[in-house]
């Protein structure tokens, strides 16, 4: 029986376990990446593990999220990360270099390698034929310390691409189409592998747009083969030597299949407030827009921005629209500056800002009250722009640019203008933004601890009986942005959990943290796909700090489930989803004989208020069980 490409790479890296879907395996991790908003926790945890040099082939610490330095906090975080990177042999990418995923693709990603990143969009690397997985910070810290990562063998989804995209339709429309078909929970526990004749019509940066937004499917990762287009990209980046050809066997067996005829796609948009709420731009119609934001790790490549510049050249941004552009990397910005494209954008009326995440994570550029904002980003969750009543539509760079000129959502295919393919160019090597660790040994650098950096909360061993009061009864698809909101006001406190925890669930229930503090020991009831979205372990650490002992839900998103277990909080799934309706805020629950029960298939949760017993499952692996019993991953490792 033939093998999928993903299975070939995973098996190549297998350290422990049987390679059976659903079973836990441990794999070797070749590379890690961190970014700054999750990175401070990662490096605090790495320090707590008391290791010397990292065990990976390459680890990079990027600064790209918290770059709006409105006080000392963010700059102190950067200095802290830089000092720990130096102590353990990690490359440090200075703020201004660009967005971690774009930079990693350009400079370090290699076909056939494994990459673990403390950011949910790490699968961007799948565009280069690598297994690139997003994880919680502690998992990445452990991967640096030990060179390994454990996961359940995912199922395989094949997306067979045929045909070729027409002008005005791009890679973003491909992934929006897949999201419409599979939904934001369609990829949980699965790897999405792209195959077929259509693959070669897509460049590596097109492929990276698609694998990047595979995170929105909830997938473990997404991957493309490594072929002549991969060689073309690596050659442009001066790294042809990193190329190896890789593909699935012709008779590889997949668990699910989806056909996508690229030639039949038209421009699409994800409507508020979910990336899978997708329709065609022409069906949505010419809605009036207030803001257009182009950039993010999904759509800030050279080719994307050259198309934008071509559309804007000689035109004027509509008087009612604010157009903001953030390039993905310093190399891309330099190229746009030297070939005149930057001038075309600026002359048209675009606001060009730093090479960073920026507006994608609400770090500035929040739209006005009640605004309609078109964004080339990957998430349009309510409130993520920094404005709670904004309507965010996710679109391709082409749709964004033409709409910015017209002032209304516009289908480029119908605008009567030609749009040509962007020709590939070579990029000059530039590592001026990189700080290399010098003569690494822990004693030659002090850890630079700013006053806002506080120790991360630690759990204790699981007691015999776990008592908890219900403090929240939440709906389906709760995001980690709902659990731990992030914007320019809160991001500076990513290294200060005691402060951050005051804002836990703030946007959907402002009484949450006060209720937790009053209850002392508490629990959360959630619906389907609880904890979807980002990898931020703050969405587990803040609840831990507030006394949350367990979460009962209909199902969990992968990274958040892991983050809860890493923190010693039990993620429990209702055996009968209807039991969800039985709970109310204020009820008192207990898991009796918890230490014995976590070893069993079924965990009984008693509702002391109603007298009912509810059956749940933890489905913990041996290692997860150990973490739960000992009160989290750090305790378990020690
Ligand atoms: C995001 O896009 O939501 C983030 C901000 O990049 C997060 C990481 C974080 O919350 O720091 C992610 O995707 O993991
Ligand atoms: Fe940054 Fe946005 Fe990408 Fe997250 S999704 S890494 S915030 S650009």
185 lines ligand 1 (CB under 6 A): no
Query: Is a pLDDT exceeding 70 seen at residue 634?
Result: yes
pLDDT confidence tier of residue 260, bands split at 50, 70 and 90: very high
pLDDT confidence tier of residue 275, bands split at 50, 70 and 90: very high
Query: Is a pLDDT exceeding 70 seen at residue 544?
Result: yes
Q: Which ligand is nearest to the CA of 62?
A: 2
297 lines ligand 2 (CB under 6 A): yes
Q: What is the pLDDT of residues 57-79, one digit of tens each?
A: 999 999 999 999 999 999 999 99
CA of 228 to the centre of ligand 2 (A): 28
The residues facing 14 across adjacent strands are 27
In ligand 2, the atom with minimum distance to the C-alpha of 300 is 8
**28 CB-near residues (< 8 Å, 6+ apart):** 13, 14, 15, 114, 147, 148
Q: Which ligand is nearest to the CA of 103?
A: 2
Sheet holding 278-280, edge to edge: 278-280, 268-270, 391-394, 372-375, 291-294, 322-325, 351-352
pLDDT of 1: 84
Q: Which ligand is nearest to the CA of 37?
A: 1
119 lines ligand 1 (CB under 6 A): yes
Q: Going by CA atoms, what residue is nearest to atom 2 of ligand 2? A: 360
534 lines ligand 1 (CB under 6 A): yes
Q: What is the pLDDT of residues 483-511, one digit of tens each?
A: 999 999 999 999 999 999 999 999 999 99
555 lines ligand 2 (CB under 6 A): no
Backbone angles phi, psi at 439, to 5 degrees: 40, 55
| DSSP conformational letter for 269 | E
**505 CB-near residues (< 8 Å, 6+ apart):** 472, 482, 483, 512, 513
Q: Which ligand is nearest to the CA of 377?
A: 2
Burial (0-12, 13-18, 19+ Cβ within 10 Å), 266: middle
Q: What is the pLDDT of residues 238-258, one digit of tens each?
A: 999 999 999 999 999 999 999
Q: What percent of the chain has pLDDT over 90?
A: 97
Q: Which ligand is nearest to the CA of 40?
A: 1
pLDDT of 416: 92
486 lines ligand 2 (CB under 6 A): no
The H or E element that residue 132 is part of is strand 131-134
| pTM assigned to the model | 0.98
pLDDT of 447: 96
Structure tokens at 183: 């939904």
In ligand 2, the atom with minimum distance to the C-alpha of 360 is 2
122 lines ligand 1 (CB under 6 A): no
Check: CB of residue 48 under 8 Å from CB of residue 566: no
Q: What is the pLDDT of residues 572-621, one digit of tens each?
A: 999 999 999 999 999 999 999 999 999 999 999 999 999 999 999 999 99
pLDDT of 148: 98
536 lines ligand 1 (CB under 6 A): yes
Pocket test for ligand 2, best of 357, 378, 394, 480 (most atoms within 8 A of CB): 357
Mean pLDDT throughout 195-199? Answer: 98
Which residue, among 538, 587, 595, has the nearest Cα to 570 in the 3D structure? 595
Mean pLDDT throughout 315-338? Answer: 98
Q: Going by CA atoms, what residue is nearest to atom 12 of ligand 1? A: 534
Mean pLDDT throughout 443-454? Answer: 93
Mean pLDDT throughout 364-381? Answer: 97
pLDDT of 428: 86
Q: What is the pLDDT of residues 165-181, one digit of tens each?
A: 999 999 999 999 999 99
Strand 434-435 to 91-93 pairing: antiparallel
121 lines ligand 2 (CB under 6 A): yes
CA of 464 to the centre of ligand 1 (A): 35
Q: Going by CA atoms, what residue is nearest to atom 1 of ligand 1? A: 534
CA of 109 to the centre of ligand 1 (A): 20
Please give the domain boundaries of the chain with CATH numbers for all domains: 5-264 (3.30.499.10), 268-412 (3.30.499.10), 466-637 (3.20.19.10)
CA dist 544 to 460, 497, 521, 569, Å?
11, 10, 10, 7
Mean pLDDT throughout 178-195? Answer: 98
pLDDT of 542: 98
Rounded to the nearest 10°, the torsion over CA 63, 65, 66, 69 is: 90
Pocket test for ligand 2, best of 67, 95, 99, 326 (most atoms within 8 A of CB): 99
Average pLDDT, the chain: 97
Structure tokens at 319: 């008087």
CB 600: neighbour CB atoms within 10 A? 12
535 lines ligand 2 (CB under 6 A): no
Query: Is a pLDDT exceeding 70 seen at residue 440?
Result: no
296 lines ligand 2 (CB under 6 A): yes
Q: What is the pLDDT of residues 388-432, one digit of tens each?
A: 999 999 999 999 999 999 999 999 999 999 999 899 899 988 999
Q: DSSP letters along 429-480, please?
A: ---TTEE---S--GGGS-----TT--PPP---PPPSSEEEEEEEE--TT-BH
184 lines ligand 2 (CB under 6 A): no
Question: What angle, 0 to 180 degrees and rounded to 10, lies between the N-to-C axes of helices 137-146 and 36-48?
Answer: 50
CA of 594 to the centre of ligand 2 (A): 38
CA of 581 to the centre of ligand 1 (A): 31
Q: How far, in Å, CA of 68 to CA of 81, rounded?
A: 16
Query: Is a pLDDT exceeding 90 seen at residue 104?
Result: yes
Q: How far, in Å, CA of 167 to CA of 212, rounded?
A: 22
CA of 537 to the centre of ligand 1 (A): 10
CA of 351 to the centre of ligand 2 (A): 19
In ligand 1, the atom with minimum distance to the C-alpha of 215 is 13
pLDDT of 429: 85
Strands (E), 263-361: 268-270, 278-280, 291-294, 322-325, 351-352
């Amino acid at each position: 029986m033939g093998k999928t490409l993903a299975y070939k790479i995973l098996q190549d890296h297998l350290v422990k376990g049987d390679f059976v879907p659903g079973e836990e395996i441990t794999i070797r991790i070749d590379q890690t990446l961190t970014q700054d908003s999750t990175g401070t926790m990662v490096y605090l945890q790495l320090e707590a593990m008391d290791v010397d040099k990292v065990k990976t082939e390459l680890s990079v610490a990027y600064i790209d999220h918290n770059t709006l330095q409105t006080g000392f906090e963010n700059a102190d975080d950067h200095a802290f990360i830089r000092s720990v990177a130096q102590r353990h042999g990690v490359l440090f990418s200075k703020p201004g270099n660009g967005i971690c995923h774009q930079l990693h693709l350009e400079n370090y990603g290699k076909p056939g390698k494994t990459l673990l990143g403390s950011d949910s969009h790490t699968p961007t690397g799948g565009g280069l034929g690598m297994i690139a997985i997003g994880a919680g910070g502690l998992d990445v810290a452990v991967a640096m310390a030990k060179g390994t990562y454990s996961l359940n063998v995912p199922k395989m989804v094949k997306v067979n691409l045929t045909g070729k995209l027409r002008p005005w339709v791009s890679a973003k429309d491909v992934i929006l189409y897949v999201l419409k078909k599979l939904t934001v929970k369609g990829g949980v526990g699965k790897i999405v592998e792209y195959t077929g004749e259509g693959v070669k019509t897509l460049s590596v940066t097109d492929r990276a747009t698609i694998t990047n937004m595979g995170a929105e499917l909830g997938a473990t990762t997404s991957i493309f083969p490594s072929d002549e287009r991969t060689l073309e990209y690596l050659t442009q980046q001066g790294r042809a030597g990193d190329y190896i050809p890789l593909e699935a066997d012709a008779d590889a067996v997949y668990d699910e299949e989806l056909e996508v005829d690229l030639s039949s796609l038209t421009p699409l948009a994800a409507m508020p407030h979910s990336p899978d709420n997708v329709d065609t731009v022409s069906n949505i119609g010419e809605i009036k827009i207030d803001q257009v934001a182009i950039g993010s790790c999904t759509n800030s490549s050279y080719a994307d921005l050259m198309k934008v510049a071509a559309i804007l050249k000689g035109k004027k941004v509509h008087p009612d629209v604010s157009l903001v552009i953030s390039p993905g990397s310093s190399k891309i910005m330099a190229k746009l500056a030297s070939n005149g494209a930057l001038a075309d954008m600026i002359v048209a009326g675009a606001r060009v800002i730093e090479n960073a995440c920026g507006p994608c994570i609400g770090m500035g550029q929040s739209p006005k009250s009640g605004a309609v904002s078109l964004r080339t980003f990957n998430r349009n969750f309510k409130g993520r722009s920094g404005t709670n009543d904004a309507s965010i539509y996710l679109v391709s760079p082409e749709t964004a640019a033409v709409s910015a000129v017209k002032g209304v959502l516009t289908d480029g295919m119908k605008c009567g203008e030609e749009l040509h393919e962007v020709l590939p160019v070579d990029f000059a090597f530039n590592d001026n933004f990189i700080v290399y660790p010098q003569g690494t040994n822990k004693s030659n650098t002090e850890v630079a601890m700013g006053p806002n950096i506080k120790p991360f909360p630690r759990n204790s061993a699981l007691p015999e009986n776990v008592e908890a009061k219900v403090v929240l009864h939440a709906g389906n698809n709760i995001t980690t942005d709902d659990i731990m909101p992030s914007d320019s006001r809160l991001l500076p406190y990513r290294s200060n959990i005691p402060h951050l925890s005051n804002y836990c669930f703030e946007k959907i229930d402002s009484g949450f943290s006060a209720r937790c503090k009053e209850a002392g020991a508490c629990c959360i009831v959630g619906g389907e796909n609880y904890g979807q979205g980002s990898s931020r372990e703050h969405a587990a650490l803040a609840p831990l700090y507030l006394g949350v002992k367990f979460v009962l839900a209909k199902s969990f998103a992968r990274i958040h489930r892991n983050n809860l277990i890493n923190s010693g909080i039990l993620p429990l799934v209702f055996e009968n989803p209807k039991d969800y309706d039985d709970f109310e805020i204020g009820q008192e629950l207990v898991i009796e004989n918890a230490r014995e029960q976590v070893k069993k298939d079924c965990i009984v949760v008693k509702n002391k208020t109603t007298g009912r017993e509810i059956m749940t499952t933890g489905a913990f692996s041996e290692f997860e069980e150990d973490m739960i019993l000992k009160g989290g991953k750090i305790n378990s490792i020690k």
